[in-house]
Structure 1
Amino acid sequence: MPAISNKGLKMPESPIRKLVPFAEDAKKKGIKVYHLNIGQPDIRTPQVALDAIKNNDIAVLEYSRSEGSEVYREKIAAYYDSKNIKVSATDIIVTTGGSEALFFTMGTIADAGDEIIIPEPFYANYNGFATASGVNVVPVVSKIDDNFALPPIEEFEKLISPKTKAILICNPGNPTGYLYSREEILKLAEIAKKHNLFLIADEVYREFAYDGAEHYSIMQVEGLEEHAIMIDSVSKRYSMCGARIGCIVSRNKEVIASALKFAQARLSPPTFAQIASEAALDTPQSYFDEVITEYVARRNTLVSELEKIENVKVARPKGAFYCIAELPVDDADDFAQWLLEKFHLNNETIMVAPAAGFYSTKGIGKNQVRIAYVLKEEDLIKSVAVLKAALEAYKS
């Protein structure tokens, strides 16, 4: 039998999706499953985006430009200008989701065996993108006891080697919901300049900042123009996960020119999805105001309910729509599967994402889960009630 590549064997399973077969089996048994495992918002997609598709009269569905429609990129640049980020359309490459943007970025800045430093826990697919690119992830640990704040800069500097090409952060963070402060971003910018590294920021949750805090982008840092690479996406901002439209943004012309070659190799991003995404940029601020109010209420409800459970520790997110909870279990993978296979409360159970898959360091996060608060408050209350009962049953 022909052999699978080492790269294929090393590709990690998604901690977000690997339990799907168990959830489907539970549903076939008539059990209601509350999905807390995946960041699929239940917020309605802006009608203006849906109407742009519905009312379109395209006769031939053509390729777009490899870097994306010029009109769309001009509108993206105008959106960033409203956020005090000064870029032009030529600084932007439209991609098939933020995932492709990250994949192109790693291919652009790093060769096989090179290293990227990432504060962990981090978005689980960073491991997959790195494996596919032959890049080594070098983790620097942030801790739940510190609410997953940026580790001391000294911890980053200890890890920098001749192979280090970049530091990658997600801001606000997935899976932690941590929102980096302006001061923290400036510290990272200084270390990037000092050691001549790229600073990559995955900012797909930029609109989701809570408690009066403001999102501060790496693209706002003066003097970082040649170092900063921003990753963005329409998926979460407009509740358009299925559109699969993202972008790379950088003022570094060599980065953009190299990333464009990757974009040309896959031909073009999807045309209809770009049309919807372009229209979504006309979404009024009132939409976001309502969404933020809703997510803050959900976060407050979830955290409050979790804090009522004995021996459960939870970090308080300041952005995005995730939190990490530490449970009184030895193996969250086993517990999450057990929830779907063997437990229900009044014919209801929950699906969570075991957090070990969001770490690169082996053995860390084994008693943690990521919870996405993308359900209505009443469903979150029911979900935590299921979790509480499950923990009592699992221990016994």
Structure 2
Amino acid sequence: MPKISSKGQNMPASPIRKLVPYAEAAKKRGIKVIHLNIGQPDIKTPRAALDAVKNMDIEVLAYSRTEGSEAYRDKIADYYAKHGIHISASEIIVTTGGSEALSFTMGTILDNGDEIIIPEPFYANYNGFAQANGVNVVPIASSIASNFALPPISEFEKSITPRTKAILICNPGNPTGYLYTHHEIAQLAKLVKKHDLFLVADEVYREFAYDDKQHHSILREPGLEQHAIVVDSVSKRYSMCGARIGCVVSKNPSVIESVLKFAQARLSPPTLAQIASEAALGTPQSYFDEVKQEYVSRRDVLVSELEKIAGIKIARPSGAFYCVAELPIADADHFAQWLLEEFEIEGETVMVAPAGGFYATPELGKNQIRIAYVLKNEVLKRAVHILKEGLKQYAESGN
């Protein structure tokens, strides 16, 4: 029998989706599963985005330009200008989601065997993108005790080797919800300039910054023009996860030229989704104000309810819509599966994302879970009640 590649064998499974078969089996048994495991917002997509597709008069659904339509990229540049970031359409490559943007970025700046430093826990698919590109992830552990703030810059300095080519951050963070301060961004900027590295920032949750805190984009850092690469997406900002439209943004012309060549290999981003995404850029600020208010309310309800559970530790998020909780158990993977296979209350259970898969260092995060607070408050309260009772029965059963 022919064998698949070692790269394929070593490709990590998604910690967010690997429990799906158990959830589907529970549903077939008649159990209602409350999904706390995946960041699929229930916020309505802006009507203008949907109407733009519905009302289009295209007769031939043709390829778009490889780098994305000029009209769309011009409007993306206008969007950034409103955030004090001055770029041109030529410094933007539209991609099929933020995932493709990350993959193209890694392919552009890293060779086989090179290293990229990432504070952990981090978005689990970073491991997959690195594996697919033959890149080694060098993790720097952050702590739930500090809300997953940026680890000391000395830890980054110690980890830099001749094979280090970049540092990658997610800001605000998935899975932590941590929002980096300007001081932390400035520290990273100074470090990458000192060692001539790239600084890659996944800023797809830029709009979701809470408690009167501000998001600080690396594109606004002076002197970082040749080092900074931003990955962005419409998925969370406009609740358009299914559109699969993202982009790579950089003032470094060599980066853009290389990303364009990777993009040419896949021909073009989806035309219909670009039409929707271009229309979404006209969404008024009131939409984001309302969405932020809703997420702050959900966060506060979630944290308040979780704090009622004995033995639990919570990192209070300041952005995005994720929360990491440390549970009084040894193995969150086993617990999450047990919730789906052996536990229910009045025909309901919950699905969580074990946080171990968001770490690159073995054994870290084994007793942690990520919760996505993308459900209404009453559902979140019910879900935490089920989680609380589940922890109690799990302990009583000898686990």
State the TM-score, normalized to the length of structure 1: 1.00
State the distance in 1 between where 2:12 and 2:70 align: 36
Query: 1:30: how far off?
Result: 1.2
Matches within 5 A, 1:72-87: 72-87=72-87
Question: Counterpart in 1 of 2:303?
Answer: 303
Question: Counterpart in 1 of 2:277?
Answer: 277
Query: 1:391: how far off?
Result: 0.2
State the distance in 2 between where 1:184 and 1:345 align: 44
Question: Counterpart in 2 of 1:328?
Answer: 328
> Matched residue of 2:94: which SS?
strand
AA of the residue aligned to 2:31:
I
Question: Counterpart in 1 of 2:265?
Answer: 265
Query: 1:346: how far off?
Result: 1.1
Question: Counterpart in 2 of 1:16?
Answer: 16
Query: 1:28: how far off?
Result: 1.1
Question: Counterpart in 2 of 1:369?
Answer: 369
State the distance in 1 between where 2:333 and 2:359 align: 13
Question: Counterpart in 1 of 2:187?
Answer: 187
Which deviations, in whole Å up to 9, do the C-alpha atoms of 1:124-162 show, x marking residues without a partner? Answer: 000000000000000000000111000000000000000
Matches within 5 A, 1:161-200: 161-200=161-200
Question: Counterpart in 2 of 1:395?
Answer: 395
Matches within 5 A, 1:376-391: 376-391=376-391
Query: 1:352: how far off?
Result: 0.4
> Matched residue of 2:119: which SS?
strand
Query: 1:218: how far off?
Result: 0.1
AA of the residue aligned to 2:240:
M
List runs of 5+ in structure 1 lacking aligned partners. Answer: none
Query: 1:336: how far off?
Result: 0.3
Which deviations, in whole Å up to 9, do the C-alpha atoms of 1:300-328 show, x marking residues without a partner? Answer: 00000001100011100000000100001
State the distance in 1 between where 2:34 and 2:208 align: 23
Query: 1:216: how far off?
Result: 0.6
Which deviations, in whole Å up to 9, do the C-alpha atoms of 1:213-253 show, x marking residues without a partner? Answer: 01010000010000000000000000000000000000000
Question: Counterpart in 2 of 1:338?
Answer: 338
Question: Counterpart in 2 of 1:348?
Answer: 348
AA of the residue aligned to 2:375:
L
Question: Counterpart in 1 of 2:317?
Answer: 317
State the distance in 1 between where 2:352 and 2:58 align: 41
State the distance in 1 between where 2:257 and 2:204 align: 22
State the distance in 1 between where 2:85 and 2:258 align: 22
> Matched residue of 1:74: which SS?
helix
State the distance in 1 between where 2:230 and 2:279 align: 22
> Matched residue of 1:77: which SS?
helix
State the distance in 2 between where 1:57 and 1:86 align: 33
Query: 1:57: how far off?
Result: 1.2
Query: 1:29: how far off?
Result: 1.1
State the distance in 2 between where 1:223 and 1:112 align: 28
> Matched residue of 2:4: which SS?
coil
Aligned residues: 396
AA of the residue aligned to 2:154:
E
Query: 1:331: how far off?
Result: 0.6
State the distance in 1 between where 2:56 and 2:335 align: 48
Query: 1:4: how far off?
Result: 1.2
Question: Counterpart in 2 of 1:100?
Answer: 100
State the distance in 1 between where 2:345 and 2:188 align: 46
Question: Counterpart in 2 of 1:3?
Answer: 3
Matches within 5 A, 1:109-148: 109-148=109-148
State the distance in 2 between where 1:297 and 1:140 align: 31
Question: Counterpart in 2 of 1:153?
Answer: 153
Question: Counterpart in 1 of 2:46?
Answer: 46
State the distance in 2 between where 1:165 and 1:307 align: 41
Question: Counterpart in 1 of 2:246?
Answer: 246
State the distance in 1 between where 2:225 and 2:170 align: 19
Residue 70 in structure 1 maps to residue 70 in structure 2:
yes
> What root-mean-square deviation, in Å, do the aligned CA atoms of Structure 1 and Structure 2 show?
0.4
> Matched residue of 2:273: which SS?
helix
State the distance in 1 between where 2:336 and 2:12 align: 18
Identity %: 72
State the distance in 2 between where 1:330 and 1:345 align: 23
Question: Counterpart in 1 of 2:233?
Answer: 233
State the distance in 1 between where 2:249 and 2:36 align: 31
List runs of 5+ in structure 2 lacking aligned partners. Answer: none
State the distance in 1 between where 2:149 and 2:250 align: 26
State the distance in 1 between where 2:331 and 2:8 align: 26
Matches within 5 A, 1:205-216: 205-216=205-216
State the TM-score, normalized to the length of structure 2: 0.99
AA of the residue aligned to 2:269:
P
